[in-house]
Structure 1
Amino acid sequence: MGNSINRLNVLKNIAELLNEGTDLELMLQEVLQKLLTLTNLTTGWIFLIDQHGNRTLAAHENLPPALEHNNRAPMCQGGCWCVDKFNKGTLNKASNIIECQRIEIVTKQQLGSTCGITHHATVPLKVGGERFGLLNVASPNKTFFTEEELALLEATAHQIGAAIKRIQLTKKEQELALSAERNRLARDLHDSVNQLLFSMTLTARGGKEMTNDEGVKETFGYIQQLAQQALSEMRALIWQLKPNGLENGLLQAIKSYGEMIELQVQDRVSGVGHLPSNVEEVLWRVSQEALNNCKKHAGTNEILIHIEHEKNQVNVTIEDKGVGFTFSQNQNIPTLGLSNMETRVRSVGGTFSLKSEINKGTIIQISIPF
């Protein structure tokens, strides 16, 4: 990889990329490409690994055909020495890997060419006491990495770890800012539009009582009805922006929202646990959408919410016995609202499933690890 001057040049180029990046996956891909170019290596991949050991192939460059087989299934499935060591907490610095297990497997299965790659170096991505994943690099017929090469890879991995932490903190700050903006908007709506609609309701009722003309009475009555409807929808919107009662727990917030839109919410809770704020927020928003769908489309005012707490996971089932609709698991999610629910759940690493049949109601099942 060259002398110390070249090493500094590599670190400088990569630092410039990392300091500019805001999209994590794009940044990791660009950094991997730059690292391979500057070090004359050919192949690399980055695994992001969460605190539960769940692994994601976040970036890859020039994988041999055998590892690209079936949409990179050999990279995304199964374990290997480096991932196992990382999950056990025993991989703390850059290391040579003597014969990559993934290469061994695809070779035995004859899944294609490995382009002469048999070994790779692996480096944990970390900063301080936090660990984020692994950087792996390789080249054809390269079976050993020198101490100098490993030191450069370790320095690069530390830079990547710091950049991942920076992006995570920036995202959290943005989420807090968004929450603050929602709260401000909710206050503004309550103090202005909400009060105007309430005043309109009172004015229409007063006008109806002050006239003897039946046509005018009917008009004022219609205005009063529209104002009351708009007031009800405005209160529901304010609830969605700022969920009063969420501080008392997810279930209480859901039940209170259900009462406000005149639904009877039956509840069942299994287990005891405290949910992370981001998971609670997702479940709250998804439950709101489910209750709204029940109110508008299900033809029933009863809905069941079952929340099951496990050690590191929460499962939520939302079920109504309404009119239902035709839906097959092979179909795409049929409406934007339901699709948004699935997107929210997947954004925190959860799974979302939907079952519905005509005259048999609708069941939404959600599982989120944390």
Structure 2
Amino acid sequence: MNNSARMQELITLKTIAETLNHSSTLQPMLQNVLGQLLDLTGLTTGWIFLMDASHEYEFVADRNLPPALTYRDKQPMKCGSCWCVDKYWGGRLHNAVNILNCKRLEDAEEQRTADTGGITHHATVPLRSAERSYGLMNVAAPGKNHFTDSELALLQSVALQIGGALERIRLFEAEQRRARLFSKAGEFGGELAKMAAGSGTRLCLVADRVTRLIGETFPDWPVAALFEPEEGGYALRSLYAGSGLSREGISADGLLLPLLMRGAASSRPVRASAAELAELRRAAGGNGTRLKAAFAAAVPSWCQQPAVLVVACSGKEEEAAQVDAVVIEAVAEHITVTLERVKLEEQQRLLTRLEERNRLARDLHDSVSQLLFSLSLTAKGVEGMLVGENDGPAAAAVRDMRQLSQTALQEMRSLIKQLRPAGLEAGLLAALQEYGAMLRLEIHAEMEGVSQLPSQAEDTLWRIGQEALNNVVKHAGTGAADIRLRLLPDRAVLRIEDQGRGGAAERPSTEGAHYGLANMRHRAELLGGSCTIVSSAGNGTVVEAVIPLNGFSR
């Protein structure tokens, strides 16, 4: 190589290095560098593809393309494959090489779409930095069908410079993305804390709000879905895709089930496979083309298995894989901490209510109950004195007074029992049996299942069972009742049946029956359940309360 050629190479490398060092925006930088390279080497035509691991490429820069490659807004450069692209994806392109001919130009000649400008061959140079590959640069000139070793070496040096600049821009963009996403994560945490107030500890009550908040806070995450464990698998609780909520369009039992299982078992977000990402793209509809990666992270659900949050990310695949997973983990921790706080607050409220009930029970026992007991004893003593002397109207009135005081005392003890139930430690069924015995009812009890009831569900079923047994005593005209408790994986069912006079719905409202029945229904509905009462005259009454168990703290 003569001194003049050597000097020209040095000038080329220096000029391109200066351009790269002063550039921070990807596409203008590549466009400028490509133009300078062609001007300094005497070549006329060039183009650059950026590639990713998912076998997709982006046409980002070009200069002096022949008409055969520019028709329809350069459509031949934006789709399809060619020999150099195939070599790159096949891992067979490591250095600058001669390509015997250009498939894109060859196709244009065969189809006679436009003039190729005399270009038939080009050199292909991979854009690399250390061990990372970014894409391809192709350069050509009319009538040139071979590049010398020195020309290829120069092109390889320029490609390494471009690769280093691409790595610098990638790292800069990744840090920008990280900073932006973590700033959004802080906003998300604040909004989540406000949103969760008053929602209770049931995940299904906040699922739509969580996924919507994720979608609206993070524009780079077009898809957010929340799955909750259900009967050995998972059920979709909420899906936010693009701009709206849905509970359909994505199956937890198909391609996504392995992702959900891996996410639930891992302490860190796990990445979706290509097939799993394709399923999320299908669910996202028009927004699916933006998705480059997806991750699954475990969040609490108050069941034996955690719920799983699935988030799909847009942006460049590798950057999303390295940056978004960390932020998704932070978002999952926000959800975990918030729900744990809400759980503790609800437990505190339960304790406060229990303490207030105990205080009322103590006060009633120490004051009103003792007074009624004293009144009953006094009335009994006066009755005894009157009966011995004169069994007249006064004795009858005192007798009625004694009976009323004893009835009032029994009602007061029943009320105290309701306020401060003793026996739930032994289980709901045992407590209801004991309560029925106190009411002098013959109870036949049966239980199916061995699952532990959440405290909220147990307390609600206890109150419903008390009201039902009280109604048996007051209205059924029978001294017996059947109690059956079924503990299923997803719900608890309490059934209380009597063979009494029935006709609960026809009783006058002055008896308070309608209020009691409505109160039982209301208690069940507060927990997302139901309470049905079937009662007809002469055929007894059946009370059945169903409480769903998914999402409760145990």
TM-score clears 0.5 = yes
The reply on whether 1:362 has 2:541 as its aligned counterpart is: yes
The reply on whether 1:124 has 2:297 as its aligned counterpart is: yes
| 2:435 counterpart (257, 277, 282) | 257
| 2:379 counterpart (204, 214, 220) | 204
Q: Offset of 1:238 from its aligned partner?
A: 0.8
Greater relative contact order (Cα 8 A, min sep 6): structure 1 or 2? 1
The reply on whether 1:324 has 2:507 as its aligned counterpart is: no
Which string of whole-angstrom CA distances, capped at 9 and with x for unpartnered residues, describes residues 41-77 of structure 1?
475545252585564626857655xx74xxx4546x7
**SS, match of residue 182 in structure 1:** helix
| 2:345 counterpart (139, 150, 170) | 170
Change (3 A) 1:354 1:73: farther
Work out the number of aligned pairs and report it: 348
What is the aligned partner in structure 2 of residue 293 from structure 1? Answer: 471
Q: Offset of 1:186 from its aligned partner?
A: 1.5
CA distance in 2, matches of 1:263, 1:300: 8
What is the aligned partner in structure 2 of residue 110 from structure 1? Answer: none
Q: How does 1:211-222 map to 2 (within 5 A)?
A: 211=386, 212=390, 214-222=392-400
- Matched letter for residue 200 of structure 1: L
Which string of whole-angstrom CA distances, capped at 9 and with x for unpartnered residues, describes residues 85-136 of structure 1?
32464565153441236946xxxxxxxx944446573432437x99642334
- Matched letter for residue 241 of structure 1: L
What is the aligned partner in structure 1 of residue 177 from structure 2? Answer: 3
The reply on whether 1:36 has 2:215 as its aligned counterpart is: yes
CA distance in 1, matches of 2:519, 2:226: 27
What is the aligned partner in structure 2 of residue 227 from structure 1? Answer: 405
Contact 1:125–1:160, Cα closer than 8 Å, also in 2: no
**SS, match of residue 278 in structure 2:** coil
| 1:99 counterpart (258, 278, 290) | 278
| 1:86 counterpart (260, 263, 268) | 260
CA distance in 2, matches of 1:235, 1:102: 63
CA distance in 2, matches of 1:318, 1:147: 58
Contact 2:230–2:490, Cα closer than 8 Å, also in 1: no
CA distance in 2, matches of 1:95, 1:34: 22
What is the aligned partner in structure 2 of residue 47 from structure 1? Answer: 226
Contact 1:18–1:27, Cα closer than 8 Å, also in 2: no
What is the aligned partner in structure 2 of residue 192 from structure 1? Answer: 367
Q: Offset of 1:273 from its aligned partner?
A: 6.4
The reply on whether 1:182 has 2:361 as its aligned counterpart is: no
CA distance in 1, matches of 2:504, 2:378: 46
CA distance in 1, matches of 2:394, 2:470: 34
Contact 1:295–1:301, Cα closer than 8 Å, also in 2: yes
Which string of whole-angstrom CA distances, capped at 9 and with x for unpartnered residues, describes residues 202-261 of structure 1?
223333444548343343333323322221111111111112233344333222211222
Q: Offset of 1:189 from its aligned partner?
A: 1.4
Change (3 A) 1:134 1:312: closer
TM-score (norm 1): 0.74
Q: Offset of 1:17 from its aligned partner?
A: 2.6
- Matched letter for residue 7 of structure 1: L
CA distance in 1, matches of 2:215, 2:490: 38
- Matched letter for residue 306 of structure 1: R
Change (3 A) 1:12 1:246: closer
CA distance in 2, matches of 1:81, 1:17: 32
Instruction: Please say which structure displays the higher CA radius of gyration.
Output: 2
CA distance in 2, matches of 1:83, 1:50: 11
CA distance in 2, matches of 1:48, 1:218: 70
- Matched letter for residue 477 of structure 2: G
Change (3 A) 1:231 1:56: farther
Change (3 A) 1:14 1:268: closer
Change (3 A) 1:50 1:162: farther
CA-based RMSD: 4.1
**SS, match of residue 124 in structure 1:** strand
- Matched letter for residue 177 of structure 2: N
Contact 2:502–2:541, Cα closer than 8 Å, also in 1: yes
- Matched letter for residue 93 of structure 1: P
The reply on whether 1:57 has 2:244 as its aligned counterpart is: no
Q: Offset of 1:188 from its aligned partner?
A: 1.9
What is the aligned partner in structure 2 of residue 337 from structure 1? Answer: 516
Which string of whole-angstrom CA distances, capped at 9 and with x for unpartnered residues, describes residues 17-48 of structure 1?
34444234786656555543443247554525
Q: Which runs of 5+ in 1 are unaligned?
A: 105-112, 328-333
Q: Offset of 1:195 from its aligned partner?
A: 0.6
- Matched letter for residue 190 of structure 2: E
CA distance in 1, matches of 2:213, 2:450: 48
CA distance in 1, matches of 2:243, 2:396: 74
Which string of whole-angstrom CA distances, capped at 9 and with x for unpartnered residues, describes residues 292-328 of structure 1?
122223232221113456688755432111233488x
Contact 2:449–2:486, Cα closer than 8 Å, also in 1: yes
Change (3 A) 1:280 1:209: same
CA distance in 1, matches of 2:532, 2:295: 37
Q: Which runs of 5+ in 2 are unaligned?
A: 1-173, 506-512
